[in-house]
């Protein structure tokens, strides 16, 4: 992996050793720090995205996720891997205005568009120099339990930043002008995580041979249709997608909650909660999978440039822009979902899952060293992956 990623010794060391994030560093990131909590970090393999090979760091506590993503990525390789794209990295900042004449206020605000954008951009000349900055305004009038409100959307191209800080600062900066223009009062000024103008998309074709035959293709489409029709299933379907995306977000020091909020709210954007992926059969009978969701991920700011392991992981990934990172995340989400649907629709998820889970159970029972694998194998062999049985086996071994 070091060779593939051309990784320097310091980064490799930061990944290898636990405790790379010192308590002192952590203390500068958040408040009331008492320590650091570690999460397993693995590498998903086999990903080709837009013709480029990637090794993808994923931080997650759940077994099977990385194996599943790597397996689906392998199946996609036959047909060229994933093709992915992203819109411009535009975030929405919301300004909540209460005033007597919402329609009049809307017209005044839109009339002062140029002045408002200029004022916002004065806030961040570096972003403007990099080709980003406040780009446009939208003004909505919404009905609420407290009456009509004017909601101003400031659209900001955040380039390689996730952008929440930039957007919030800009919104705060332009609010007095908005109050002046409308004689209204501004309340909230905050980024929206429903980042509909910062979408990432990916597509892959999975050959019927790679999936295990025509029946498997049909079964996966049935599984997708179930999620498309039923919110109870759809929540789990989308959760599986986020297993992959959140793990990459965490490994790269990104705001996992922002991405999760964006994904699930986007899934409901039509008024009905829907899958973030689609599946169809093409004329050859192969499975075509797509994904589309907002991904507000950054390469600068937040923990991305502070956490030593996140820094190393971004080097492994080798992405040049935040949009490329979003494309990788979307591809991982699609792979994750395909792997889950295939397993669920054919042999069921538990066999593969439980053999990895068995290792956790063995550790929980107190096994260490070689004993972990020994107990786990026995549990799988017996088909009884339970803590009480693991304890019994361990006692027998130790007699
Ligand atoms: C488990 O973390 C994720 C799955 O439940 C996703 C799915 O059901 O599609 C396997």
* Mean pLDDT value across residues 120-135: 97
pLDDT for 210-254, tens place per residue?
A: 999 999 999 999 999 999 999 999 999 999 999 999 999 999 999
Residue 246 near ligand 1, beta carbon < 6 Å: no
Confirm whether 118 is domain-assigned: yes
Which is the catalytic residue, given 239, 281, 374, 391?
239
Ligand 1: residue whose CA is nearest its atom 1: 240
H helix or E strand, kind and range, residue 248: helix 231-251
Strands 199-206 and 287-294: antiparallel
Residues 203 and 328 in one domain: yes
Q: How far is the CA of 200 from the centre of ligand 1 (A)?
A: 21
Confirm whether 103 is domain-assigned: yes
Tell me what percent of the residues of the chain surpass a pLDDT of 70.
100
Strand order in the sheet with 147-157: 133-144, 147-157, 90-98, 185-192
Q: How far is the CA of 240 from the centre of ligand 1 (A)?
A: 4
* pLDDT tier, 186 (very low <50, low <70, confident <90, very high otherwise): very high
Residue 245 CA to its chain's centroid (Å): 3
- Is the pLDDT assigned to residue 111 strictly greater than 80? yes
Q: State yes or no: is 353 an active-site residue.
A: yes
* pLDDT tier, 338 (very low <50, low <70, confident <90, very high otherwise): very high
Whether residue 14 contacts residue 311, with contact meaning beta carbons closer than 8 Å, is answered with: yes
Q: What are the start-end ranges of the E strands in the chain?
A: 41-49, 52-59, 82-86, 90-98, 133-144, 147-157, 185-192, 199-206, 277-281, 287-294
- Give the pLDDT confidence score for residue 17 in this predicted structure: 83
- Is the pLDDT assigned to residue 353 strictly greater than 80? no
Residues 133 and 240 in one domain: no
* pLDDT tier, 16 (very low <50, low <70, confident <90, very high otherwise): confident
Residues 212 and 244 in one domain: yes
- Give the pLDDT confidence score for residue 383 in this predicted structure: 86
Q: How far is the CA of 239 from the centre of ligand 1 (A)?
A: 6
Owner of token pair 């009978």: 285
Confirm whether 15 is domain-assigned: no
pLDDT for 253-304, tens place per residue?
A: 999 999 999 999 999 999 999 999 999 999 999 999 999 999 999 999 878 8
Q: State yes or no: is 292 an active-site residue.
A: no
* Mean pLDDT value across residues 378-394: 92
Residues 302 and 205 in one domain: yes
Residues 260 and 325 in one domain: yes
- Give the pLDDT confidence score for residue 357 in this predicted structure: 85
Q: How far is the CA of 316 from the centre of ligand 1 (A)?
A: 27
> What's the structural domain count of the chain?
3
- Is the pLDDT assigned to residue 364 strictly greater than 90? yes
Residues 329 and 387 in one domain: no
Distance between CA atoms of 198 and 64, rounded to whole angstroms?
A: 30
Q: Which two tokens stand for residue 351?
A: 């066999």
Q: How far is the CA of 248 from the centre of ligand 1 (A)?
A: 17
Distance between CA atoms of 73 and 45, rounded to whole angstroms?
A: 7
pTM: 0.91
- Give the pLDDT confidence score for residue 361 in this predicted structure: 93
- Give the pLDDT confidence score for residue 143 in this predicted structure: 98
Residues 235 and 110 in one domain: no
Residues 129 and 244 in one domain: no
Residues 113 and 130 in one domain: yes
CA distances in angstroms from 374 to 293, 313, 369, 380, 388, listed in the order given: 42, 32, 9, 10, 16
Most confident among 11-15, 197-201, 344-348 (mean pLDDT): 197-201
The phi and psi torsions of 132 (rounded to 5 degrees) equal -105, -160
- Give the pLDDT confidence score for residue 206 in this predicted structure: 98
Which is the catalytic residue, given 255, 286, 324, 327?
255
Ligand 1: residue whose CA is nearest its atom 2: 240
Residues 78 and 205 in one domain: yes
Residue 240 near ligand 1, beta carbon < 6 Å: yes
Distance between CA atoms of 85 and 197, rounded to whole angstroms?
A: 13
Residue 349 near ligand 1, beta carbon < 6 Å: yes
Q: State yes or no: is 62 an active-site residue.
A: yes
Residues 167 and 276 in one domain: no
* pLDDT tier, 100 (very low <50, low <70, confident <90, very high otherwise): very high
* pLDDT tier, 321 (very low <50, low <70, confident <90, very high otherwise): very high
Q: Can you list the pairs that 13-17 forms with residues at least 24 positions away whose Cβ atoms lie under 8 Å? A: 14/308, 14/309, 14/311, 14/312, 15/41, 15/309, 15/312, 15/313
Q: What is the mean pLDDT of the chain?
A: 95
Q: State yes or no: is 255 an active-site residue.
A: yes
Domain around 159: 90-192
**Comparing 348 with 40, which gets the higher pLDDT?**
40
Distance between CA atoms of 320 and 315, rounded to whole angstroms?
A: 10
Residue 275 near ligand 1, beta carbon < 6 Å: no
């Amino acid at each position: 992996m070091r060779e593939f990623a051309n990784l320097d010794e310091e980064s490799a060391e930061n990944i290898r050793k636990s405790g790379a994030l010192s308590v002192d560093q952590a203390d500068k990131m958040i408040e009331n720090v008492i320590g650091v909590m570690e999460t397993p970090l693995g590498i998903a393999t086999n990903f080709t995205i837009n013709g480029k090979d990637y090794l993808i760091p994923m931080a997650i506590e759940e077994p099977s996720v990385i194996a599943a993503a790597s397996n689906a990525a392998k199946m996609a390789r036959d047909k060229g891997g994933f093709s992915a794209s992203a819109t411009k990295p535009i975030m929405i900042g919301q300004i909540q205005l209460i005033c007597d004449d919402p329609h009049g206020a809307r017209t005044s605000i839109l009339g002062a568009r140029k002045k408002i954008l200029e004022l916002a951009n004065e806030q961040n000349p570096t972003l403007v120099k990099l080709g980003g900055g406040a780009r446009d305004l939208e003004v909505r009038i919404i009905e609420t339990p407290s009456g009509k409100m004017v909601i101003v959307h400031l659209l900001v191209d955040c380039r390689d930043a996730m952008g929440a800080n930039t957007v919030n600062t800009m919104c705060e900066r332009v609010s007095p002008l908005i109050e002046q223009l409308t004689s209204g009062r501004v309340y909230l000024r905050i980024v929206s995580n429903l980042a509909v103008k910062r979408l990432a998309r990916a597509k892959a074709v999975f050959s019927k041979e790679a999936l295990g035959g025509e029946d498997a293709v049909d079964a996966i489409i049935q599984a997708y249709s179930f999620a498309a029709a039923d919110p109870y299933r759809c929540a789990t379907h989308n959760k599986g997608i986020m297993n992959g995306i959140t793990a990459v977000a965490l490994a790269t020091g990104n705001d996992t909650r922002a991405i999760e909020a964006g994904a699930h709210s986007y899934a409901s954007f039509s008024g009905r909660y829907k899958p973030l992926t689609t599946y169809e059969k093409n004329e050859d009978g192969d499975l075509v999978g797509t994904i589309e969701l907002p991904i507000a991920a950054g390469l600068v700011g937040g923990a991305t440039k502070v956490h030593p392991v996140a820094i190393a992981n971004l080097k492994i990934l080798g992405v040049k822009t935040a949009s490329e990172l979003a494309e990788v995340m979307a591809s991982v989400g699609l792979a994750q979902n395909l792997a889950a649907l295939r397993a669920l629709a054919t042999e069921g998820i538990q066999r593969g899952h439980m053999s990895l889970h068995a290792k956790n159970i063995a550790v929980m029972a107190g096994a260490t060293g070689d004993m972990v694998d020994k107990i786990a194998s026995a549990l799988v062999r017996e088909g009884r992956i339970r803590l009480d049985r693991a304890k019994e086996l361990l006692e027998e071994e130790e007699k």
